[in-house]
Structure 1
Amino acid sequence: MKDFNLNPIKNLKLIALFFAASIAFTSCSSDDDDHDDHEHEEELITTVTYTLTSGTDVVTFTFQDLDGEGGNEPTYNQTGTLLANTTYAGEIELLNETESPAEDITHEVEEEGDDHEFFYTSTISDISITKDDTDEDGNPIGIETTFTTGAAGTGSLIVVLKHEPTKPNDGSVANAGGSTDVEVTFPLTVQ
């Protein structure tokens, strides 16, 4: 029988080598087990267009910020006149115009409707906005709306797109939760 050398220094080196190997093996293990395959990759939204149509009357609100946050100030534009006591069909469009051709983000929001919802708030009390489209669970998305004006007035229209809001919710952006993908405030005049 062979006699093993139980040299404490050699044993300590051997234990240290095994310890280092176990750390290296453990640190190489994948953390992808906890990775969500549907992780939200935030899209760049440079342009928001909200179009309201009543018969032949068309009103368009446009927000554009081609260089993103910082840089140049965004622009706001309105074409057409909002009339008092009128019901409009509304549709919102989101674009990334840094791409050529421009990338339509609206389709992605619609496809991932269960993870998105638009919220519309007017400071003019006589305006009501209802969401007409729903996700696969029957909860509102808000790409398509009905926009109804009351008496003439001035104020603002706030449009917010939330990612992963609580669904169903009470319809208010304050209690929706989630993160904000875009928030735009349009000046608003009803004549």
Structure 2
Amino acid sequence: MDDLEIIDEINLTAGTTYTLTFEIENNLDSPGEDIGEEIAEEDDEHQFFFSFTEDAFSDPTGNGNIDNTSDPVNYADSDDNNNPVGLLTTWTTSSDALSDGTFTVRLQHQPDIKSSSTGANDGDTDFDLTFVLNIQ
């Protein structure tokens, strides 16, 4: 059995805009399965939520939307009901350096309940990963 491979540190450049995408695979079975494709196909049942060190980013501002669904996150994709998904997001880092901050991504599975107001604690958590965030 292969181990789950997770890079636990994100190193970004200050004052730079990034596009975040996900490559999510299950390679425990052969052949492997593209979980990202499944999430895209079932986008009306999934949403990514984010939390990060306060003011690590100039856009979106704040600390993410895990604690409050209405907090800003720059979702660049949506489901057929125009609700955010999060397989594609944009981020602009602050001009200030940051060492040992945090960046958390949580994927919620929300069949039959996903709406514009469902949050990071609604439905079932598919994964909840926290990374060290450094901005130089």
Q: CA RMSD in A?
A: 2.3
**Map of 2:120 onto structure 1:** 173
**Map of 1:99 onto structure 2:** 29
**Map of 1:161 onto structure 2:** 107
Q: SS of 1:183's equivalent? A: strand
Aligned AA (1:153) = L
**Structure 1 residue runs of 4+, over 2 Å off?**
74-79, 99-102
Q: What is the TM-score of this pair, normalised by structure 2?
A: 0.76
**Map of 1:42 onto structure 2:** none
**Structure with max Cα Rg:** 1
C-alpha distance in 2 between matches for 1:140 and 1:75:
25
Q: SS of 2:89's equivalent? A: strand
Structure 2 spans left out of the alignment, 5+ residues: 61-72
Residues 189, 180 of structure 1: alpha-carbon distance in 2 compared, 3 angstrom cutoff: same
After superposition, where does 1:15-164 map in structure 2 within 5 Å? Answer: 66-67=2-3, 75-78=6-9, 81-127=11-57, 128=60, 129-150=73-94, 151-154=96-99, 155-164=101-110
**Map of 2:70 onto structure 1:** none
What is the CA distance between 1:78 and its match in structure 2? 4.6
Q: What is the TM-score of this pair, normalised by structure 1?
A: 0.55
Q: Deviations over 1:9-63 (max 9, x none)?
A: xxxxxxxxxxxxxxxxxxxxxxxxxxxxxxxxxxxxxxxxxxxxxxxxxxxxxxx
Structure with more of its chain in helix, by fraction: 1
Q: What is the number of equivalent residue pairs in this alignment? A: 118
Residues 75, 133 of structure 1: alpha-carbon distance in 2 compared, 3 angstrom cutoff: closer
Are the equivalent residues in 2 in contact too, given 1:93–1:143 (CA < 8 A)?
no
Q: SS of 2:7's equivalent? A: strand
1:187 aligns with 2:132: yes
